[in-house]
Amino acid sequence: MTTPSGATTAPGGAPVLDPAGAVPDAAVLTPPDVAERAAALDAADPLARYRDRFVQSPGLVAYLDGNSLGRPLRATRDRLAGFVDDVWASRLIRAWDEGWMDAPTELGDTIGRVTLGAAAGQTVVADSTTVMLYKLARAAVGARPGRDEIVADTENFPTDRFVLEGIAAERGMTIRWIEPDPALGVTVDDVAGVVSERTALVLLSHVAFKSAFVADMPAITRAVHDAGALVLWDLCHSAGAVPVELDACAVDLAVGCTYKFLNGGPGAPAFGYVARELQHQLRQPVQGWMGAADPFAMGPAYEPAAGIRQFISGTPPVVGMLPMRDMLAVLEEAGMAAVRAKSVALTEFVIEVADRKLAPLGVEVASPRDAAVRGSHVTLEHPRFQETTALLWRWGVVPDFRPPSGMRIGLSPLSTSFTEVARGLTLVAEALRDPGASPAR
């Protein structure tokens, strides 16, 4: 999440865009037609009961940034507290033999089964997204000797681009940059136009972090394979919100974070997927003791473990894995098809309200209008959104801002209500009408 900047601040950094200090009443200000529509959608929502499973935030009107950091579950609060006494204190180091050692692959299999369409033995939980991206991308280019190009797009998240720049410099390779339409994303024609016999790796995001455009994973993967290259998909804005079928699409590699729609909490570890048939071909570059064939042999030379475990490097982040277990259980109970349907309904509602209530104020929808190619957030654009986001945070509405003028409305399907969205967008309108003070009504 990007903290809004550019607002006038008082000592201590508090925004003073609202000199009166009053907070508008979103429930009162929401237009009756919007409120009634939201209430009807909430009443018909088959997943509405899941909202009570999340810890509520006092004073918050609308949390519209679930695509940056998911809310914690009530079960997670209990799990974390119990872990100290029931596992850590009671079992101590014995717990490594009683489950901790297998946690990266066991939890990886769960993520694969519930959200990725991946059979067991291909997904592992470890590291951060940046480190896992480096490991898999570096291993991929090493597995395609004689090829000196990497393909990526200029609209991808900075980490993805920066990691590839470092690998290209390290290996003496060239990056072929796709420049997609910012309002959409990378298409199969874009990819087919740049891959060649020189391409070693193509790295793309399945759901674009700015526009929420959903790339055509099957077609793009085929185009990459036709050129003899490997493809690495970034699933950070997909996992837990948009169903993915990695095995069915014959994907080579994938990486994703777990603190967004998997609700793993700040700093939760990433996951990496390596197709079974590739695992013996790749040698990961960060050779650590936990990825060795026998970690406790303490031998003189590194011998990689068989299978997906070889892509672990250091000690597994056991505590960081605890929260996502609870969310994966909820996702499996609800079903990814139902979660996706709720995501589509929420984003459709955002666009509906934006067209009717925000467009007259100069707001434009910068995400695809076709739900089939839209992820679980909607990006709105307005030249005053940077200062407006700062004011909204003060008012208890939390979207995030992406330069130069984008406000992302991120919608976590199981924890977000339509009424919450309606009230949040109402205050977006109020902030744009009078960015200097809250309305006196």
Helix (H) or strand (E) run with residue 149 in it: strand 149-153
SS3 144: coil
Instruction: Tell me, rounded to whole angstroms, the distance of Cα 173 from its chain centroid.
Output: 29
DSSP letter at 56 equals P
Q: Where are the beta strands (DSSP E) in 224-376?
A: 230-234, 253-256, 270-274, 364-365
Helix (H) or strand (E) run with residue 319 in it: helix 318-334
285, with CB counted inside 10 A (0-12, 13-18, 19+), is: middle
Structural contact between residues 231 and 198, judged by C-beta atoms closer than 8 angstroms: no
DSSP-assigned states of every residue in 305-318: PSGGGGG--S---H
Q: Which of 50, 134, 259, 385 is catalytic?
A: 259
Measured over the CA atoms of residue 260, residue 342, residue 346 and residue 237, the dihedral's sign is positive
Cα Rg of the chain (Å, integer)? 23
Q: Is-catalytic flag, 260?
A: yes
Q: Is-catalytic flag, 63?
A: no
Structural contact between residues 199 and 151, judged by C-beta atoms closer than 8 angstroms: yes
Q: Is-catalytic flag, 408?
A: yes
Structural contact between residues 87 and 95, judged by C-beta atoms closer than 8 angstroms: yes
Helix axes 318-334, 103-111, angle to 10 degrees: 30
Q: Which of 234, 252, 326, 400 is catalytic?
A: 234
CA distance 268 to 322: 9
Q: Is-catalytic flag, 259?
A: yes
Contacting residues for 88 by C-beta, under 8 A, at least 6 apart:
95
Q: Which two tokens stand for residue 213?
A: 């455009």
DSSP letter at 112 equals I
Q: Is-catalytic flag, 213?
A: no
Q: Which of 134, 157, 209, 418 is catalytic?
A: 157
Structural contact between residues 394 and 18, judged by C-beta atoms closer than 8 angstroms: yes
CA distance 155 to 339: 27
Q: Which of 71, 138, 147, 260 is catalytic?
A: 260
Instruction: Tell me, rounded to whole angstroms, the distance of Cα 266 from its chain centroid.
Output: 12
Measured between alpha carbons, how far is residue 77 from residues 50, 239, 326, 333 in Å? 16, 22, 10, 19
| Enzyme catalytic residues | 157, 234, 259-260, 408
